[in-house]
Amino acid sequence: MSTTSRKMKFYNLRDLDKIPQILRLPKDLIFQMKVVSNILPFRANNYVIEDLINWDNIPNDPIFQLTFMQPKMLDPHHFNTMAETLISNATEKEINQVANKIRLELNPHPSGQLSSNVPSINDEPVEGVQHKYKQTCLVFPSQGQTCFSYCTFCFRWPQFIGIKELKFATEKTKKFISYIKEHKEITDILITGGDPMIMNAKTLSAYIDPFLEPEFEHIKNIRIGTKALTYWPYRFTTDKDHEEILKLFEKVSTAKKQLAFMSHINHWKETAHPEVEKAIKNIKSTGAQIRTQTPLLKHINNSPEVWIKMWNEQTRLGMIPYYMFVERDTGPKAYFEVPLVEAFDIYQNAYKNVSGLARTARGPSMSADPGKVVVDGITEINGEKVFVLSFLQAREPDHSKKPFFAKYDEKATWLNHLKPAFGQEKFFFEK
Ligand SMILES: *Cc1c(COP(=O)(O)O)cnc(C)c1O
Ligand code: SF4
Helices (H), 294-429: 304-316, 333-336, 340-352
Q: Is the CB of 389 under 6 A from ligand 2?
A: no
HSE-up of 165 (CA within 13 Å, CB side)?
6
The CB of 138 under 6 Å from ligand 1? The reply is: yes
pLDDT digits (tens, 9 = 90+) for 292-335: 999 999 999 999 999 999 999 999 999 999 999 999 877 788 89
> What's the pLDDT score for residue 167?
59
Residue where a domain stops, chosen among 80, 103, 126: 103
pLDDT for res 341:
98
Distance of alpha carbon 405 from alpha carbon 258, whole angstroms = 36
Using the mean position of ligand 2's atoms as its centre, give its distance from the Cα of residue 140 in Å.
13
Among 258, 148, 142, smallest CA distance to 206 is for 142
Distance CA 34, CA 13 (A): 7
User: For residues 420, 325, 113 and 190, what is the CA-based torsion angle, rounded to 10 degrees?
Assistant: 130
Q: How far is the C-alpha of 294 from the C-alpha of 326, rounded, in Å?
A: 9
Rg (C-alpha) for the chain, rounded Å, is: 22
Backbone angles phi, psi at 150, to 5 degrees: -100, 135
Q: Which domain holds residue 92?
A: 10-103
29-44: average pLDDT: 95
DSSP letter string, 290-321: EEEEEEE-TTTT-SHHHHHHHHHHHHHTT-EE
- The DSSP letter of residue 72 is G
State yes or no: pLDDT of 97 exceeds 90.
yes
Buried b / exposed e along 357-369 (16+ C-beta atoms within 10 A): ebebbbbbbbbbb
Is residue 333, in this structure, part of any structural domain at all? yes
Residue 260: CB within 6 Å of ligand 1?
no
Residue ending a domain, among 68, 103, 138, is 103
pLDDT band at residue 357, thresholds of 50, 70 and 90? very high
**Ligand 1 near 393 CB (within 6 A):** yes
Centre of ligand 1 to C-alpha 137, Å, is: 8
**CA distances from residue 270 to 1, 239, 264, 265, 363 in whole angstroms, order as listed:** 21, 19, 10, 7, 21
Q: Does residue 222 lie in a domain region?
A: no
Nearest ligand by distance to the CA of 264:
2
Give the per-residue pLDDT at 108.
78
The predicted-structure confidence for 146-175, as pLDDT tens digits, reads as follows 999 999 998 777 777 665 555 567 777 788
Lowest mean pLDDT among 16-20, 213-217, 249-253: 16-20
Note the pLDDT of residue 162.
60
Q: How many domains does the chain have?
A: 2
The rounded distance, in Å, linking the Cα atoms of 33 and 68 is 7
Q: Is the pTM of this model over 0.85?
A: yes
Distance CA 314, CA 268 (A): 8
pLDDT of residue 230: 98
Whether omega before 194 lies within 30 degrees of 0, making that bond cis, reads: yes
Query: What residues pair up with 384 in beta bridges, in sequence order?
Result: 381
3-state secondary structure of 402: coil
Which numbered atom of ligand 2 lies nearest the CA of 227?
1
With respect to residue 202, please indicate whether it lies within any of the assigned structural domains: no
Asked if the structure places residue 329 within a domain, the reply is yes
Is residue 207 in a domain? no
Last residue of a domain, one of 103, 135, 150: 103
Q: Ligand 2, from 43, 138, 156: best to mutate by most atoms within 8 Å of Cβ?
A: 156
Q: Determine the Cα–Cα distance for residues 185 and 179; give it in Å rounded to an integer.
A: 11
CA gap 377, 352 in Å, rounded:
14
Which H or E run contains 393?
strand 384-394
- 238: burial class by Cβ within 10 Å (0-12, 13-18, 19+)? middle
How remote is the CA of residue 136 from the centroid of ligand 1, in Å? 7
Q: For atom 8 of ligand 1, which residue has the closest CA?
A: 136
In a domain, 246, yes or no: no
pLDDT in tens, 367-391: 999 999 999 999 999 999 999 999 9
Residue 316, in any domain of the structure: yes
Q: Is residue 256 part of a domain?
A: no
Q: Which ligand is nearest to the CA of 67?
A: 2
pLDDT of residue 218 exceeding 90: yes
State in Å: Cα 122 to ligand 1 middle.
25
Q: How far is CA 382 from CA 43, 123, 253, 385, in A?
A: 52, 50, 52, 8
